[in-house]
Amino acid sequence: MKKPIKIALLILVIVAVVAGSIYYMTMPLPVRMTQLYPQVAELSFTEQGVVVAENTILVFPLAQGEINGLYVQEGQQIQAGDAILSIDDTSLHLQLAQVESGIAGLEAQRANLDVEQARIRQDLQATRNALQGELQALNAQASNTRQTIADQNEVIAEQTRLQNVLIEQNQMEVNVVRENFQRIEALHNSGVATLAELETAQSNLTRAETALETSQHELTIIASGNMRDNAEYFAGVRTAINARIAGINQQLGQDLVTQSAAQINAMIEIERVTIAQIERQIENAVIHAPTSGIITTLHAQNTNVVSAAQPIAEITVPGNMYIEVYVSTQDIGIVQVGDIVGLTLRQRTTDIEFDGRIVAIGDTAVVRFTALGVEERKVTVTIQPNLPVGVNLGIGYAVDATFYVFREENQLIVPRTAIFRDSGQYMVWQVQGGEVRAMPVKTGMVLRTDTVILEGLSPGDFVINDANNQDIRDGVRVIDER
């Protein structure tokens, strides 16, 4: 090749390289841009809510025990009075039979009072006659100054006989007084007899038992051969017999039937109150729905025993529908009654979106668990939905509720990555005529991925999304890589 041709070719290569370098240096830099236009700026969070009715009733049992019949299921429509479940009442029927048997026994005692009083009077009269005979013999013996008992054995035998008579009478007195004490004690335990009546009966029993012990001790002394002075002993026996006769006369003067009948009637009334209580428990063993509605929750299906402290079911009464949402205590401070909430009913084909208004916020937090079992403290928020025409919500439907922390229309928004700071001033890279220039701006609410611009930009402006791009500086030509 001739030398001039080689020189020409070299010149062409050099020109091409220089031209390419110039083109590369002046070629616009491809970047991602955002064009500003007025739009809705919002910061929100979403919780899942459940459709509930305005009136929900918790059903508590009035009895407790083992379930032997469950007659409803969740989601079932029921009428007031329908049976929900029944409790095993076998033990209650056994208690009822025992109390009724006790009443029958008391009524038999009451019916036999006249016969019993006649027997008691007859026994008392016979005892009095016997004591009067003993008293006459003692009096005759005391008046016969010539009668002596010379033999010591005869003296001991006579004193022993008389002492056994006294012991027998004292034992009879103890039996009567103890029976009366036991009756008064039962009446006191049942709330019929007063404490003063019980204390009097106890005092009488103690006195009678003391007298019996004294007479038995006296017999022991006589049996040991330590005789009492005969005249002195007989005088003491006469005093004891006279006291016993006076006591019998007092008993014979009492109306035993009226007093005993009153006591038995009081005990019967107490047992009848017990029967009424047991019958109410038997009646309450079948739990009925207090109102018509839908069984939305059936707690009893997960247990075999119910108690009065735990509800067995939740009945929802048809009426106004609300959406109940649990909001974390971290977010509840920004939620207020009257706020508008975005609502979404998820469906297989097309989701239905509408809104609602917060009408109530709970006063206390409750423990809720996430799907992963994490415990959270949340507050109940009640929302009244504005249902579109033709949209129906059923009890228990799941609805997504979106709460707006910040929501303003006609706002200019840029990506948070488009903002940088220079000497304490917020800046963005604005694109004008294909060239970049740094523009100071005033920012507003920081959203999840964007930031509201209050001053410095206008609708239609372009900004570069990535403010940290090292190739960007004032005057650089750029092009939207999209």
pLDDT digits (tens, 9 = 90+) for 29-40: 999 999 999 999
| Average pLDDT across the chain, whole number | 84
Choose the weakest-confidence range: 136-140, 243-247, 396-400.
Answer: 136-140
User: Contact 306/312 with Cβ under 8 angstroms?
Assistant: yes
Domain boundaries defined on the chain: 28-40+410-480, 45-53+318-406, 61-87+285-306, 99-277
Choose the weakest-confidence range: 123-127, 213-217, 378-382.
Answer: 123-127
Residue 227 has pLDDT above 60, yes or no: no
CATH 2.40.30.170, domain 45-53+318-406, yes or no: yes
Tell me if domain 28-40+410-480 and domain 45-53+318-406 are identical in fold. no
307 against 26, higher pLDDT: 307
Confidence category of residue 23, pLDDT binned at 50, 70, 90: very low
CA pair distance 74, 115, nearest whole angstrom: 64
User: Contact 476/435 with Cβ under 8 angstroms?
Assistant: yes
CA pair distance 217, 222, nearest whole angstrom: 9
Furthest C-alpha separation in the chain: 198
193 against 422, higher pLDDT: 422
Confidence category of residue 147, pLDDT binned at 50, 70, 90: very low
User: Contact 209/175 with Cβ under 8 angstroms?
Assistant: no
Choose the weakest-confidence range: 42-46, 111-115, 119-123, 149-153.
Answer: 149-153
CA pair distance 335, 359, nearest whole angstrom: 11
Residue 170: name the closest of 118, 225, 116, 219 by CA.
219
Question: pLDDT tens, 457-470?
Answer: 999 999 999 999 99
Type of residue numbered 78: I
| Residue 152 confidence (pLDDT) | 64
Choose the weakest-confidence range: 5-9, 357-361, 397-401, 455-459.
Answer: 5-9
CA pair distance 450, 430, nearest whole angstrom: 16
Q: What are phi and psi of 51, to 5 degrees?
A: -75, 125
CA pair distance 396, 348, nearest whole angstrom: 17
For 28-40+410-480, CATH number out of 3.40.50.970, 2.60.120.650, 3.30.200.20, 2.40.420.20 equals 2.40.420.20
Type of residue numbered 83: A
